Amino acid sequence: MKKSGLDKKSIVILYGDHYGVGSSDNETNALAPILNKADKPWSEYDTINLQRVPFMIHMNGLKGGIKSNIAGEIDVLPTLLHLLGIDTKNYIQFGNDLLSNKRQKFVIFRNGTIITPHYIIVGGRNNLNRIYDFNTGEKINNLTDKQKAHIEHLIKQAAKSLRYSDLLNNRNLLRFYTPKGFIPVDPLTFNYQLNYLNMIRIRKMVGNNSTSLYSENRGSTIDMYKTDAFQINKDKLFDLPANVIKTRKEAKNLLKEDAPLNK
Look at residue 126 and tell me whether its pLDDT is greater than 70: no
Tell whether the model's pLDDT for residue 117 goes beyond 90: yes
Q: Where in the chain is the domain with CATH 3.30.1120.170?
A: 106-184
Question: What SS3 class is residue 29?
Answer: helix
Phi, psi dihedral angles at 101 (to 5 degrees): -75, -15
Give the pLDDT mean for 211-238.
74
Say how far apart CA 96 and CA 173 lie, in whole Å. Answer: 21
Q: Are 51 and 18 in contact (CB under 8 A)?
A: yes
Alpha-carbon distance of 158 to 94, in angstroms, equals 12
98-115 pLDDT tens trace:
999 888 889 999 989 999
Between residues 157 and 244, which one has the greater pLDDT?
A: 157
Fold of 106-184: Arylsulfatase, C-terminal domain (3.30.1120)
Q: In this predicted model, what pLDDT tens digit does every residue of 191-208 receive, in sequence order?
A: 888 888 888 888 889 988
Tell whether the model's pLDDT for residue 259 goes beyond 50: no
Of the segments 67-81, 121-135, 194-208, 223-237, which one has the largest average pLDDT value?
A: 67-81
Tell which residue, 105, 136, 104, 139, has the closest CA to residue 121.
Answer: 139
What pLDDT shows up at residue 260? 45
What predicted TM-score, i.e. pTM, was given to this entire model? 0.74
